[in-house]
Structure 1
Amino acid sequence: MASDDYVGFTFFVGCMAMMAASAFFFLSMGSVEGKWKTSLLVSGLITFIAAVHYFYMRDYWAVVGESPTFFRYVDWTLTVPLMCVEFYLILKAAGAKT
């Protein structure tokens, strides 16, 4: 990756941020009440899936030099339903009537 490749660098930073968030969520599971554990697991899965896709997007950008739209749509196809589940889990754990 060239030193002036800001797009590639942004994909790298996004990948590292998502991986750090995944580690945080997975490691936090042992220190929260039981009602929050599933929510943290789903959050970790969402950010891990995003991290893997950002890794591939960075490589695709470095080789092809075009926006990796395919990886974005695959990422969204997997993570958006998980985010809907996540919202439900948070509301349920917070005591909302479902």
Structure 2
Amino acid sequence: MSLFTNFSLVAKMATNDYVGFTFFVGCMAMMAASAFFFLSMNHFDKKWRVSILVSGLITFIAAVHYWYMRDYWAVNMESPTFFRYVDWVLT
């Protein structure tokens, strides 16, 4: 029997869970911004590339934390305050 038999990698959300959906949309928006920054970095002047790279890293970190916040909300139905503070400190 596998260790992960009862472990779900993605928490299930109810179809009317607007808070969880908001975390999901925030995560996808941050991931899209990260992709934009990373993929368009070479199209910027050399002096702006470090700023674009840092912007991509910040939005990627935020996307990961929003994903964790969505899962925490879906499982516990509580505000993921800890993840918010970690996200604010890192970004």
Q: Name structure 1 gaps, 5 residues minimum.
A: 80-98
Of residues 54, 70, 75, the one that matches 1:63 is 75
Amino acid at match of 2:87: D
Q: With structure 2 as the length reference, what TM-score do the two structures score?
A: 0.86
Amino acid at match of 1:53: H
Task: Give the RMSD, CA atoms, in angstroms.
Answer: 0.4
Give distance in 2, aligned partners of 1:32 and 1:5: 40
Q: Name structure 2 gaps, 5 residues minimum.
A: 1-12
> Runs (4+) of structure 1 moved beyond 4 Å?
none
User: Equivalent pairs: percent with the same residue?
Assistant: 82
Give distance in 2, aligned partners of 1:8 and 1:2: 9
Aligned to 1:53: 65
TM-aligned CA deviation for residue 61 of structure 1: 0.2
Structure holding more helix per residue? 1
Aligned to 2:28: 16
Amino acid at match of 1:35: K
Amino acid at match of 1:78: L
